[in-house]
Structure 1
Amino acid sequence: MMALEKIAKYWSTQADGYSEINQEELEKEQRAVWLKLIEDNILKGSCLKVLDIGCGPGFFSILMAENGHRVTSIDFSEKMLENAKKNTKKYEVEDRIDFLKMDAQSLTFENESFDLILSRNITWTLENPNQAYKEWLRVLKPGGCFMNFDGNWRMNLYDKNLARLCEEDKKKLVKMGYEVKDDGHGKEQAGDSLNNLPLSNILRPLWDVETLIELGCTNIKILTKLPHNIMNEYYSILYTHMPMFMVRAQKG
């Protein structure tokens, strides 16, 4: 089985759990925090054509559709897409979103199709992230914005000090009364596929900045510390030493 298919199959086993997390974000303060962060970093427009890459259960898609934008959402996991479609009906925005099963590294859209591209926690899972960035920029209109949220999610497997700090964060959660969940990434279902990807042991967002500069992007902005309430308390503590970052760039 190709790594792409194997990884997609794994994420399908996680789809229901991620859907619950997304719905919690949509029902609590995270919704407003995410919306402000996005709106503060994109070109203003009343009805943008948005591409949500690796849409998962549809968090960004719903957020953008609710605010008047037209969204195309892609994912390679059929189960993630099923959950996303259910969630869009729940929030009554299904008429503003088109869902497609598609490889984020090989898009089928025409050049310069979108005003805004959003992605979250997808780049680290890709077999060819450089090719993915080329594709994303190909379908972005000149002057359009690209926002990618991701993290060094496997770096603790390669950095002993970071691994120690992450274990301390888990112990802190236990002391606070939380049950620490094992994300399971890279174990039985996914094998080594998630642990040996090109970006697993590459320090980011430095890699992203260098790659986007090479691809001709302008107005590149990095946030290595996102708003403290962008995650709930559990995940904020769990990822204290592996925080999510933002990469924002504009197509020249």
Structure 2
Amino acid sequence: MKGQEWYQDDSVAQAYEDKRFSGGGRLIDRREKRAVLDAVGPVEGRRILEIACGTGRFTVMLAERGADVTGLDISDAMLTQGRQKARRAGVADRIEFLRGDAGRLPFPDDYFDAVVAMRFFHLADDPAGYLRELARVAEETVFFDTFVGSSLRVLYNWALPMGSRLYSEEEVRGLVAEADLELRSAAHDFVFPYGFYRKLPNGVAAPFRSVDTSVGETNVGDHLASVSYWTVEV
């Protein structure tokens, strides 16, 4: 995986959400959470695995809605932040946080109803292998996102400390087919890439998001999007 040393640094974990999901980043957080819930549907009583759970943004959200969640990450520092968040939210009893490798998951086949992997595949050095492993432990659904290679993200991707793998739609569809899975749905969003929104106060970012959404609803919107959300049937 790319950027493992940077990602596991304590200082990165402590500032992770403040840097990415405050100000205009709140719009990103809101959209991503909606995408996850749209993909997995009603979660109460379901068993869900989150890959690269980080500080527990989605893990805690799913537990608050009644899911039994396992969050897996390579960073002890990130997992510490996630456990603290779960305790503050009162859902620590519904979440198990584990340090581990997504390429060798310690679970039997079909163990989870759904597997969620957000902000993961842009770091994957073997995306086909990871997708097969995620599908192995999922009984119904795998949901993940990718960054788009033909988008404005290419303007700053080189400067990111952990790098970022960018995908075309054809490449992702090929990965899904190679893993012998069925693509249920694909959604594309954010003409203005994430880095743009993070630089803006929330009040300033909101009008840009309105423009962004309007463009996204046109025929050319999908071709300009910087992020894609993929829901796969196992």
Considering the TM-score relative to the shorter chain, is it more than 0.5? yes
* AA in 2 matched with 1:99: F
The Cα of 1:83 is off from its aligned counterpart by 1.1
Residues 122/30 of structure 1: CA separation in 2 closer, same or farther (3 Å cut): closer
Q: 1:214 corresponds to which residue?
A: 178
Residues 215/77 of structure 1: CA separation in 2 closer, same or farther (3 Å cut): same
What is the RMSD of the two structures over their aligned residues, measured on CA atoms?
3.7
Count of aligned pairs = 211
**Corresponding residue to 1:185 among 161, 172, 181:** 161
Distance in 2 separating the partners of 1:242 and 1:31? 17
SS at match of 1:60: helix
* AA in 2 matched with 1:52: E
Residues 128/217 of structure 1: CA separation in 2 closer, same or farther (3 Å cut): same
**Corresponding residue to 1:132 among 130, 133, 137:** 130
The Cα of 1:45 is off from its aligned counterpart by 4.8
**Corresponding residue to 2:77 among 71, 76, 79:** 79
Tell me if structure 2 keeps the 8 A contact 1:224–1:244.
yes
**Corresponding residue to 1:147 among 140, 143, 148:** 143
Distance in 2 separating the partners of 1:243 and 1:134? 24
Residues 1:56 and 2:54 aligned together: yes
Q: 2:189 corresponds to which residue?
A: 225
Tell me if structure 1 keeps the 8 A contact 2:128–2:178.
no
Residues 188-221 of structure 1 deviation map (CA, whole Å, 9 limit, x = unaligned): xxxxxx46xxxx3x53343221111222212431
The answer for unaligned runs of 5 or more in structure 1 is 168-181, 187-193
Give the alignment of 1:1-252 within 5 angstroms: 4=1, 7-13=3-9, 14-20=12-18, 24=22, 33-141=31-139, 144-152=140-148, 163=154, 184-186=160-162, 194=163, 200=165, 203-225=167-189, 233-234=197-198, 243-251=226-234
SS at match of 2:182: strand
Residues 227/32 of structure 1: CA separation in 2 closer, same or farther (3 Å cut): farther
SS at match of 2:131: helix
Q: TM-score, normalised by structure 2?
A: 0.74
SS at match of 2:49: strand
Distance in 2 separating the partners of 1:128 and 1:94? 32
The Cα of 1:226 is off from its aligned counterpart by 5.7
Tell me if structure 2 keeps the 8 A contact 1:50–1:70.
yes
Higher relative contact order (Cα pairs below 8 Å, separated by 6+ residues): 2
The Cα of 1:147 is off from its aligned counterpart by 0.8
Tell me if structure 1 keeps the 8 A contact 2:146–2:167.
no
Of the structure 1 ranges 214-223 and 14-23, higher mean CA displacement relative to structure 2 is found in 14-23
Distance in 2 separating the partners of 1:151 and 1:41? 18
Tell me if structure 2 keeps the 8 A contact 1:77–1:101.
yes
SS at match of 1:41: helix
Residues 115/21 of structure 1: CA separation in 2 closer, same or farther (3 Å cut): farther
* AA in 1 matched with 2:230: V
